Amino acid sequence: MIRVVLPAHLRALARAGGEVELQVDGPVTQRSILDALEARYPMLRGTIRDHVTQQRRPFLRFFACEEDLSHEPPDAPLPDAVASGAEPFFIIGAIAGG
Amino acid sequence: MNGVRVLVGTRKGAFVLTSDGKREQWAVSGPHFGGWEIYHLKGSPVDPNRLYASQSSGWFGQLIQRSNDGGKTWEPVGNKFVYDGVPGAHQWYDGTTHPWEFKRVWHLEPSPADPDTVYAGVEDAALFRSTDGGQTWQELSGLRGHGSGPKWQPGAGGMCLHTILLDPSDSGRIFIAISAAGAFRTDDAGQTWRPINRGLKSEYIPDPNAEVGHCVHRIAMHRSRPGVLFMQKHWDVMRSDDAGESWHEVSGNLPTDFGFPIDVHAHEPDTIYVVPIKSDSEHYPPEGSLRVYRSRTGGHEWEALTKGLPQRDCYVNVLRDAMAVDSLDPCGVYFGTTGGQVYVSADAGDRWTPIVRDLPAVLSVEVQTLP
């Protein structure tokens, strides 16, 4: 199972507890994780990536295995540790605003 | 006994304030959606338990929330606002052009006939409609496409469609206003639109007959007389007696005619309220004295309403969607400030008391009169 850590506001919106566990079929990529996440929690559509362009929202970042993967192509394979569930995929809100 | 439910949108969540018909003792519920900007909430006139709320954040974008129990519980509904066709471009602050980009919903206006039909005024300016309780949204693109769109430009707060008035006597007629494009009207339920800005004078627009470009802050009407409109413009309080075909100034003896909200008494179509603000660069009351001004003559002659309002050292603002009236008798008047106070007058403005003093900055106030 893939493990995903959401920002607190999105956990509240999705009424999810701590980490979210997802079944992802096929290659584990940013796109396949977000597709599975939005299929399970439709209310998250549009909050992480744009409805139409599918671009990551500017004030969100994707991290895994202590690396910033935000600028990696959405279809690039994620580290094996994410695919195996050893490490979570983090969706993080930028430190900005007031 | 009748009661009221006040829906307050703030920079950091929504609050619901309830009272009986006396409007003296209040219960406060919230924050709902704590930490999120709530630009606006409004209830359906035909089903008071059906509420819609615009929830947004710089991180996570736009959400629409719906309640079927008067705000006790909420569910997220559709948040996909996609412009119809090729969005095109409008003017930018520096005189260049800028592609139309959706940012947020400023105002939600439920239909007076159907609880599942609701309109959304958005930034960058456009009007959307849902007929399925907010699940899906379609743009009424005749507004953006009527020809002047490429000349529209944002006001300091963004290029927002902030006012939606549905004519209660004519289901095909809708008035909207955009900062800083002006006011527009449709007579065919949103298919075609035309600007209604004749008579508006704006210092920064040299052409006195300019069709668009006016920074209209708010429009209000009385439901018994929908052909008469009142406008708080960037500067100037204006009135139209012909459904927007022409406007004339009614600022009269106001200490300043800059401001944001304007509203009409529930039972007296010629009694109107504004909150004068010192200037376009000093968004606070003149002399640090918070005064609502009331005209009982449809403009020109204004009286200051001060009882219960701070008369010294007050430097808050009242934003365009942050004033409302109930339909009890006597009419209740409400407004919220950027300092987090929500004031009520249960006697049409003669005396004011704060319901709450320390909310986050208030973005919007709406009132439901409950049976």
Note the pLDDT tens digit of each residue in A12-67.
Answer: 999 998 899 999 999 999 999 999 999 999 999 999 999 999 999 999 999 999 99
Q: CA separation (Å) from B170 to B43, B113, B186, B205, B224? A: 20, 12, 11, 33, 12
pLDDT > 60? residue B320: yes
**B60·A48 Cβ contact <8 A:** yes
**B59·A57 Cβ contact <8 A:** yes
Q: Could you give the CA distance from residue B116 to residue B298 in angstroms, rounded to a whole number? A: 34
Q: How far is A75 from chain B (nearest CA, A)?
A: 22
Domains of chain A: 2-93 (3.10.20.30)
List chain B residues with CB under 8 Å of A7.
59-60
Q: CA separation (Å) from A10 to A6, A22, A87, B52? A: 6, 16, 20, 20
For B203-218, how does the pLDDT look when each residue is reduced to its tens digit (9 = 90+)? 888 888 888 999 999 9
CATH architecture of B3-370: 7 Propeller (2.130)
**Across the interface, which of B62, B63, B82 has its CB nearest the CB of A52?**
B82
pLDDT band, residue B157 (cuts 50/70/90): confident
- DSSP3 helix / strand / coil % (chain B, rounded to 5): 0, 40, 60
Mean pLDDT of B326-347: 98
The pLDDT score that the predictor gives to residue B214 is 92
Q: Could you give the CA distance from residue B12 to residue B359 in angstroms, rounded to a whole number? A: 9
- B62 CB within 8 Å of a chain A CB: yes
Q: Could you give the CA distance from residue B336 to residue B323 in angstroms, rounded to a whole number? A: 7
Q: How far is B358 from chain A (nearest CA, A)?
A: 17
Mean pLDDT of B121-130: 98
pLDDT band, residue B131 (cuts 50/70/90): very high
Could you tell me how many CB contacts below 8 A there are between chain A and chain B? 43
Contact B306, B343 (CB under 8 A): no
The pLDDT score that the predictor gives to residue B324 is 98
The pLDDT score that the predictor gives to residue B300 is 98
**A9·B60 Cβ contact <8 A:** yes
Q: Which residue of B has its CA nearest to A9?
A: B35
pLDDT band, residue A98 (cuts 50/70/90): low
Amino acid identity of residue B9, one-letter, is G
What does the domain layout of chain B look like in residue ranges? 3-370
Q: Edge-to-edge strands of the sheet including B13-20?
A: B27-32, B13-20, B3-10, B362-370
Report which of residues B95 and B196 the model is more confident about.
B196
List chain B residues with CB under 8 Å of A52.
82
Q: How far is B78 from chain A (nearest CA, A)?
A: 8
**A94·B59 Cβ contact <8 A:** yes
The pLDDT score that the predictor gives to residue B186 is 98
Beta strands in A1-98 (DSSP E): 2-5, 20-22, 60-64, 67-68, 89-93
Contact B53, B9 (CB under 8 A): yes
For B15, half-sphere exposure in the C-beta direction (CA atoms, 13 angstrom radius) is: 24
Q: Could you give the CA distance from residue B218 to residue B368 in angstroms, rounded to a whole number? A: 20
Can you give the length of chain A in residues?
98
List chain B residues with CB under 8 Å of A96.
58-59
Query: Measured in whole angstroms, how far is the alpha carbon of residue B240 from the centre of its chain?
Result: 18
Contact A82, A64 (CB under 8 A): yes
Query: Measured in whole angstroms, how far is the alpha carbon of residue B264 from the centre of its chain?
Result: 12
Cβ-based neighbour number of residue A81 at 10 Å: 12
pTM of the predicted model, to two decimals?
Answer: 0.97
pLDDT > 90? residue B53: yes
The pLDDT score that the predictor gives to residue A97 is 58
Q: Could you give the CA distance from residue B212 to residue B198 in angstroms, rounded to a whole number? A: 9
- B58 CB within 8 Å of a chain A CB: yes
Q: Could you give the CA distance from residue B210 to residue B159 in angstroms, rounded to a whole number? A: 18
For B76-125, how does the pLDDT look when each residue is reduced to its tens digit (9 = 90+)? 999 999 999 988 999 998 889 999 999 999 999 999 999 999 999 999 99
Looking at this predicted complex, what is its ipTM?
Answer: 0.95
List chain B residues with CB under 8 Å of A97.
58-59
The kind and range of the H/E element at B66 are: strand B61-67
The pLDDT score that the predictor gives to residue B141 is 95
Mean pLDDT of B252-263: 98
Q: Best interface-test mutation with B: which of A6, A11, A13, A49 has the largest number of B CBs within 10 A?
A: A13
